[in-house]
Structure 1
């Protein structure tokens, strides 16, 4: 004959699960762990012993900073595959955040190091106009990373649709409003041969054929990921202030070796083009 698992008061269940009574009440309120029974007259909660593993799972997921809605999705998953996919997605986000934190820590240690960093090599170049496929939008700083990733996919799709090979690495221009107001025009671009498919928007919405204007730039190479990108900007901009006249035109970045994609971010190479006034 089947006998249900015994039920225990919330205080006893707290000791069984290593969760405080306050936490158990909160998990009940947000729909993560419903008591087995609630006394209608006193409101006392009682829990079944078979709820202990569920409480342990919730504890571990919350220790991993999984948001309550995602914990709820794990608990209500229709099968193991759906449950594991939700957990795996959260773990991947945590790993990415951990990598970012390590990068920031390493950058901070270097910043505080008594050994001064090597001077940034800066060259002044006259850059000719060049045709590009571009995706332009007003972008906020908080959304810039995701927006650029989507724009790059559009650019690659446009190249494939018109059967044109890139004539150089991808890049982006960043308006001065983007830096000053944390929101401004950004243009992701990829160089193309002159005369190649002037209307890519006909095959991929949002992609246009434009020409990057010619100009004179102070150029420096940034090595590694973007955790200490501000240091390269600071050194390059300071060099411009000391040795040239800067212009408020958009800054260009050319991603010769891009970070991410499972690769080593420290291997990334970015050329930063700071617009300056041409010599008389």
Structure 2
């Protein structure tokens, strides 16, 4: 015996979805009525469609895009359907974590920034193992992680040993244009060298130039990294003459040391 069909009004009450929403779901291809009267255009729905309507409502409440909802509904079996739903839930959870981090950062912004301990240091030239590239801002974290692995692999192949924390230099264009040169580096001792033939010729031995820097530590979430930059850069402007040289960062276990280049006195 086939399932009874009901009017769109009755189906609206069964599914807790408005007639307007049901018409929209029909128009975008999410929920096709069981029958449409060719003369009047009246839509009628099968009781078998009630659970499908409930699923669509929950997926749309989770802001799943219409094409992805179609993928879930067209899944060949329950496992395929559940995989699509889990993928979207994972994305939603990541977005939620990001939102919570931004909310926490905004709350922190309402509080006064703790006084930043800024010192001026004169650094000698430093030999480094380095990877350079022009990097898009949105991909910079992934690029640095890859560059660090390349540095570590080259150190393992060479006679060099890292003598300090890994770091990176960031050209002004990176901040101004969201795209600029970044150099990931590992400080090394004088002497030794790289093998003539190595697996990654993009890793080179160079020298960071000597210079004077306004230096401060950033501790805590990277969501507030901009506040450290703002405070350190402002201090450098008030008490020295900043240079257009790249900003340096050193990545320690519990903090990031930021070095703002200034004119040598």
SS at match of 2:56: helix
Cα deviation 1:223-260 (Å, max 9, x = unaligned):
22222222111111111011111111222233324xxx
Give the equivalent residue in structure 1 for 2:131: 134
Task: Decide whether aligned partners of structure 1 residues 48 and 172 sit closer, same or farther in structure 2, where only a CA change above 3 A counts.
Answer: farther
The corresponding residue for 2:257 is 271
Check the 8 A contact 1:100/1:227 in 2, yes or no: no
The correspondence for 1:87, drawn from 80, 85, 88, is 85
Q: Which secondary structure does the structure 1 equivalent of 2:181 belong to? A: strand
* 1:171–1:188 CA contact under 8 A, matched in 2: yes
Q: Is the 8 A contact 1:198 1:209 kept in 2?
A: no
Aligned to 2:251: 255
User: Which residue number in structure 2 is paired with residue 21 of structure 1?
Assistant: 19
How far is the alpha carbon of 1:93 from its aligned partner? Answer: 2.5
Residue matched to 1:197: 194
* Match runs of 1:15-164 below 5 Å: 15-113=13-111, 116-127=112-123, 128-139=125-136, 141=137, 143-144=138-139, 147-157=140-150, 159-160=152-153, 163-164=156-157
Answer whether contact 1:126 1:214 (CA < 8 A) is retained.
Answer: yes
Say if 2:207 is the partner of 1:209: no
1:14 shift after superposition: 2.0
Question: CA separation in 1, counterparts of 2:189 and 2:47?
Answer: 70
- Paired with 1:134 and 1:199, the residues of 2 have a C-alpha distance of 17
What is the CA deviation profile of residues 128-171 of structure 1, one whole-angstrom value per residue up to 9, with x for unaligned ones?
323123141241x4x23xx4214423541563377357555443
Cα distance in 2 for partners of 1:229, 1:170 equals 18
93 and 124 in structure 1: CA distance in 2 versus 1, 3 angstrom threshold: farther
Using a 3 Å threshold, how does the CA distance of structure 1 residues 53 and 192 change in structure 2: closer, same or farther? Answer: farther
Query: In 1, are the aligned partners of 2:3 and 2:46 still within 8 Å (CA)?
Result: yes
Q: CA deviation at 1:23?
A: 2.1
What is aligned with 1:233? 229
- Please list every run of 5 or more consecutive structure 2 residues that lacks an aligned counterpart in the other structure: none
Question: How far apart, CA to CA, are the structure 1 residues paired with 2:204 and 2:218?
Answer: 28
| TM-score normalized by the length of structure 1 | 0.79
Largest Rg, 1 or 2: 2
Q: Which SS does the other structure have where 1:227 is aligned?
A: helix
Change (3 A) 1:92 1:221: farther
CA distance in structure 1 between the partners assigned to 2:153 and 2:239 by the alignment: 43
Distance 1:67 1:39 in 2: 30
- Alignment root-mean-square deviation, CA: 2.8
Structure-2-length-normalised TM-score: 0.83
